Each structure stands twice: as C-alpha cells, then as structure tokens.
Amino acid sequence: MRGWVPIPGSAQHRLLESSHQLFEHHGYELASVTEIAANAGVTTGALYHHFGSKLGLYALLREDLEKRIDERMQGALAVGGRTRRSAIGALRTGLDAAVHFSCCRILGEAHPAGADDRFATTIATVLPEARRAASTIMVAAWRAALLAVADGRSADAARRALTYALGER
C-alpha cells in the first residue's frame, strides 16, 4: 500500500487514474505505457520517474484496490463467522465491491508478477483446516465472475453464477 496520497491533479494522481481506467478496460498486457501517459497528459518519462515501470504502477494500483476489497470481505467474514457460507458471502461482497470500484478486470486477471493471492488467504481463514485448499478454487470462481462482468455480463448475472458455482442457491 502506498505510504502517500497523491495530490489531486498532480502527475502521479493523473497517472493512477489513467492506469486504473486503461488496465480495467484493456487488461495489464494490452495497456501501453504510451497510452497511459498520453491519457494522463504526461510523458512516459513521468510514469517511469514516479513509478519505475508499468509493473510498478500496476502493482501499486492493484495493491490499493486489493486492500479496499479485502477490507470489505473481512468485514463480511466478521459478521458471518467461520463457516463456508460466510466465505461465500464474503466473495459476493467482494464481487459487489469490485463492481463499485470498477476493478473487475484488474482483480480478475492473474497478477503479472505472480504475487501471493491475498483473497485466497482471506477466505482460507474461515474454512476448516482440512478444507483450506478449497479457498484457491473458490477464489478462482470469484475471479471468473469478475472477468465476466469486465467482459460485459451484468453484475447480477455474475453474482448469481458465482453463488450457483459455489454451491449456494
């Protein structure tokens, strides 16, 4: 998580907003440094100066979004207790939050640097020890629902599909 908040209108702020929009629309691989910088009204040199690389910018943006979504999922887990049903509720909460923050593609895609999956870790905390490996599969279904929304499916349809895939009716 970044230790600073960019000043609205600053080059850093515009780059973060531009990258959020383009990573969400195109995905990490197809969003170009040139397009991100042009959309932010800065040079590519400004992007490299402030963030080091496209991956550095992406990692910072994704970490911030993951933290926001994970906080909401943790809240849902705190209310629901240590049950499978609670885990499913947390994933639905995470889907709704990702839609709200317009980050379905960003969080639906695998992290290009192969970072640890904080969501699988979160979900694993409420599953019985013998079933914790299922968190990876549950989160994979969640990511598929996120990508379905990013590709144009309605959030309601993706939420229903996720609920069905996880065994809740």
The CATH class that applies to domain 11-59 reads: mainly alpha
Q: What pLDDT, on the 0 to 100 scale, is given for residue 139?
A: 96
Q: Where are the domains of the chain?
A: 11-59, 62-165
Per-residue pLDDT of the chain (169 residues; tens, 9 = 90+): 455 667 777 899 999 999 999 999 999 999 999 999 999 999 999 999 999 999 999 999 999 999 999 999 999 999 987 888 999 999 999 999 999 999 999 999 999 999 889 999 999 998 888 888 899 999 999 999 999 999 999 999 999 999 999 987 5
The answer to whether 93 and 72 are in contact (CB under 8 A) is: yes
SS (H, E, C) 102-160: CCHHHHHCCCCCCCCCHHHHHHHCCCCHHHCCHHHHHHHHHHHHHHHHHCCCCHHHHHH
Q: What pLDDT, on the 0 to 100 scale, is given for residue 169?
A: 59
